[in-house]
C-alpha cells in the first residue's frame, strides 16, 4: 500500500472490501509517523495504544455491521478536547490538562467510528500564522523542511501533506485552516460560522472560531464536513447545515459566475502566486465558468478590524487561565492576585501575551469606542460588501495566501508582517462565510492555494464548485518527502 496515494475514501474502500483491516491502516499511518515526524514535527501526541485498541474493536465487528467510515484514522489539532487525552493548545499553561469531556466534533468522530491517532501541533492558542508560536516544537513544511507549514493549524496541514494521517481537523479564526492548507498543498475548509459546534474547542475568538477539515482532496473535505456538522444544544451559536453534505460530482461550471477579488491581487501578492492563480482562473474558464474582476474595497481593512476584535475576544476568553482549575500554577506566590500574574506570565508565550495586552487595551475604558466599536462597524461594512458581491456572482475567488510558505524565522521578529499572511482569509471570518482552499499548483516547487468563498450556508455548492476546479486542474504533485519515504 502506498500511503501517499491514500485518501480517506480509499481507506474506507480498503476496509469495506476487506483488503485492509483497521489495525493494518493504523499501523500504516503510525509507521509513516515514525518514518517522517522527527523531520516534520506535526504530532504533539501519538496515541498508539488507544488507536490500536479502537482499531481492534472495529476489526472484531463483522464488516456488514460497520458504519461507512468506521476504522478510518484521523488526527486532531491540539485545541479539541478529547476526554482523558492531554490537550494543551501547544501552551505551557495547559501542560498536563486532560479534559473531562469530548468536544462535540470528537463525539461525532467517535460515533462515526473514526480512529483517533493523536494530537497535532499549532500556534499557541491558535495565535499565529506559522506554527512557530507553539511552546513545544516547530513544525516543518513537508515540501521544504526549512519552511513553515503556515498556521495556526500547521500540524493539521503538515500531517496530511506528509501522509501521516489521511485527514485531520483544524480550526480557523482568521485563516488558520485555509492558510496552512494552502502552504502545505492540501485542501482546507472553514465552514459557515455556526455550521459546526464549537463545544469543546478551546476558545480563541468566539465570534470567529470555526472547526473544519484538512484533507487530500475536495471529496474528503465534503465527507468530513458531513460527519462533523450539525446544530448542538451545547453550543447555542450552532445552526448546522440545511441538508446533509453529499460527495461532490460537478465537473462542469457552466452557468456559474466567479468574482476575482481585485484587492487581493495587489503588491502584497507574489508574482509566482499570481501566476498560479491565473492558471486556476483559466481552469475555471475551461470548465465553462465565468470569472469577472470585482472590487470589495472594505476587505483591505479586514486585517485591521480583525486585530482589534480577535485580541479583544481572546483577552476575555483567556482570563480563565489563572492557575486555579487546570494546568500550570506558579509556586511561591504571596497572595491570589500574585499567583494569577505569575502563573499567566510563566504559562503564556510572547505572542499570546501581546494579544492579551492589545485586547485589554482596546476594551479598556476610554478606548472601547475608538477601537472596538469601530472594528465592529467595519465588520458590518465588510459583510455588506460581500452581500452585494453575492448579488452579482456566485462565488468569490482569490489566492488563499499572498505568498508561498516562508522560511522558518523569517517573520518572527515582525508581528505585522506575520499578520499579513492572513490578509485574504480574514474577511470570510469577519463575515461568517464558508471558504475553502484547494491546491492550485506550484511556484518554485512550493504549493499555492486557491480560495473560494461562498454565501452563508452554501457549503454544498461551494464544494461542488471546488471539486470542478480540482478536476479541471488535475494536479498530482507530491512533496519531496513522499519520494524519500519510498
Partner 1 sequence: MISREEVEHIARLSRLRFEEDELERLQHGLSAILDYVKTLGELDLDGLEPTAHAVDLKNVLRADEPGVCLSQAAAVANGPVVEAGQFVVPRIG
Q: Which of 152, 156, 171, 398 is catalytic?
A: 152
Residue 264 or 307 having the CB closest to partner 1:
307
Minimum Å gap between C-beta 416 and partner 1 is 6
Residue 96 or 244 having the CB closest to partner 1:
96
Angstrom CA distances, 311 to 57, 128, 304, 374, stand at 44, 12, 11, 14
Q: Torsions phi, psi of 334, nearest 5? A: -80, -30
Instruction: Give the span between the Cα atoms of 433 and 192, in whole angstroms.
Output: 5
Residue 122 or 375 having the CB closest to partner 1:
375
Q: Is-catalytic flag, 77? A: yes
Minimum Å gap between C-beta 325 and partner 1 is 6
Q: Which of 77, 119, 190, 301 is catalytic?
A: 77
Minimum Å gap between C-beta 410 and partner 1 is 18
Q: Which of 130, 153, 176, 437 is catalytic?
A: 176
Instruction: Give the span between the Cα atoms of 434 and 427, in whole angstroms.
Output: 11
Minimum Å gap between C-beta 279 and partner 1 is 32
| 139 and 150 Cβ atoms separated by less than 8 Å | no
**Closest Cα partner for 250 from 461, 464, 436?**
464
Could you identify the residue written with the cell 482568521? 174
Instruction: Give the span between the Cα atoms of 99 and 294, in whole angstroms.
Output: 46
Sign of the Cα pseudo-torsion (207, 208, 213, 219, in order): positive
Residue 194 or 449 having the CB closest to partner 1:
194
Residue 258 or 348 having the CB closest to partner 1:
348
Minimum Å gap between C-beta 372 and partner 1 is 8
Residue 119 or 456 having the CB closest to partner 1:
456
Instruction: Give the span between the Cα atoms of 188 and 171, in whole angstroms.
Output: 10
Minimum Å gap between C-beta 93 and partner 1 is 11
Classify residue 200 by burial, with Cβ atoms within 10 Å: 0-12, 13-18, 19+. buried
**Closest Cα partner for 182 from 283, 45, 104, 276?**
276
Q: How far apart are the first and last CA of the chain?
A: 11
b/e burial code for range 250-262 (CB count within 10 A of at least 16 → b): beebeebebbbbe
Q: Which residues bind partner 1 (CB under 8 A)?
A: 96-98, 100-101, 192-194, 207, 233, 236-237, 239, 298, 301, 304-305, 307-308, 315, 319, 322-329, 333-342, 344-345, 348, 353-354, 356-358, 360-362, 364, 371, 373-381, 383, 415-416, 430-433, 456
Sign of the Cα pseudo-torsion (160, 143, 42, 127, in order): negative
Active-site amino acid positions: 77, 152, 176
Amino acid at each position: 500500500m502506498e500511503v501517499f496515494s491514500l485518501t480517506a475514501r480509499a481507506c474506507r474502500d480498503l476496509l469495506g472490501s476487506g483488503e485492509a483491516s483497521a489495525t493494518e491502516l493504523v499501523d500504516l499511518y503510525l509507521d509513516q509517523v515514525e518514518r517522517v515526524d522527527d523531520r516534520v514535527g506535526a504530532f504533539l501526541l501519538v496515541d498508539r495504544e488507544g488507536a490500536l485498541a479502537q482499531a481492534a474493536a472495529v476489526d472484531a465487528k463483522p464488516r456488514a455491521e460497520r458504519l461507512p467510515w468506521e476504522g478510518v484514522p484521523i488526527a486532531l489539532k491540539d485545541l479539541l478536547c478529547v476526554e482523558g487525552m492531554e490537550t494543551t493548545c501547544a501552551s505551557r499553561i495547559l501542560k498536563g490538562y486532560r479534559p473531562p469531556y469530548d468536544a462535540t466534533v470528537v463525539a461525532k468522530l467517535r460515533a462515526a467510528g473514526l480512529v483517533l491517532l493523536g494530537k497535532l501541533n499549532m500556534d499557541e492558542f491558535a495565535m499565529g500564522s506559522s506554527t512557530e508560536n507553539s511552546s513545544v516544537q516547530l513544525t516543518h513544511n513537508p515540501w521544504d523542511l526549512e519552511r513553515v507549514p503556515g498556521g495556526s493549524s500547521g500540524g493539521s496541514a503538515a500531517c496530511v501533506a506528509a501522509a501521516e494521517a489521511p485527514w485531520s481537523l483544524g480550526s480557523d479564526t482568521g485563516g488558520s485552516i485555509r492558510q496552512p492548507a494552502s502552504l502545505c498543498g492540501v485542501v482546507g475548509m472553514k465552514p459557515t460560522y455556526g455550521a459546526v459546534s464549537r463545544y469543546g474547542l478551546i476558545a480563541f475568538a468566539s465570534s470567529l472560531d470555526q472547526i473544519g477539515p484538512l484533507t487530500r482532496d475536495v471529496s474528503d473535505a465534503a465527507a468530513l464536513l458531513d460527519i462533523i456538522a450539525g446544530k448542538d444544544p451545547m453550543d447555542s451559536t450552532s445552526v448546522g447545515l440545511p441538508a446533509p453534505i453529499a460527495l461532490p460530482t460537478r465537473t462542469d461550471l457552466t452557468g456559474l459566475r466567479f468574482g476575482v477579488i481585485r484587492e487581493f491581487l495587489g503588491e502584497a501578492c507574489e508574482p509566482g502566486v499570481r501566476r498560479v492563480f491565473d492558471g486556476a482562473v483559466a481552469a475555471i474558464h475551461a470548465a465553462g465558468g465565468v470569472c469577472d474582476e470585482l472590487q470589495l474595497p472594505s476587505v483591505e481593512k479586514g486585517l485591521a478590524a480583525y486585530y482589534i476584535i480577535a485580541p479583544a475576544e481572546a483577552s476575555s476568553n483567556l482570563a480563565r487561565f489563572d492557575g486555579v482549575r487546570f494546568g500550570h500554577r506558579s509556586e511561591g506566590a504571596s497572595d491570589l492576585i500574585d499567583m494569577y500574574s505569575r502563573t499567566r506570565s510563566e504559562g503564556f508565550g510572547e505572542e499570546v501575551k501581546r494579544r492579551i495586552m492589545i485586547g485589554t487595551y482596546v476594551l479598556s475604558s476610554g478606548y472601547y469606542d475608538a477601537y472596538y466599536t469601530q472594528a465592529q462597524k467595519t465588520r458590518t461594512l465588510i459583510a455588506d460588501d460581500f452581500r452585494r458581491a453575492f448579488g452579482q456572482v456566485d462565488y468569490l475567488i482569490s489566492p488563499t495566501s499572498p505568498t508561498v510558505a516562508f522560511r522558518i524565522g523569517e517573520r518572527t521578529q515582525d508581528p505585522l508582517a506575520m499578520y499579513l499572511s492572513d490578509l485574504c482569509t480574514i474577511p470570510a471570518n469577519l463575515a461568517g462565510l464558508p471558504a475553502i482552499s484547494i491546491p492550485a499548483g506550484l511556484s518554485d516547487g512550493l504549493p499555492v492555494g486557491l480560495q473560494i468563498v461562498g454565501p452563508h450556508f452554501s457549503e454544498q455548492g461551494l464544494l461542488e464548485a471546488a471539486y470542478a476546479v480540482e478536476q479541471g486542474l488535475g494536479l498530482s504533485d507530491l512533496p519531496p518527502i513522499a519520494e524519500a519515504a519510498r
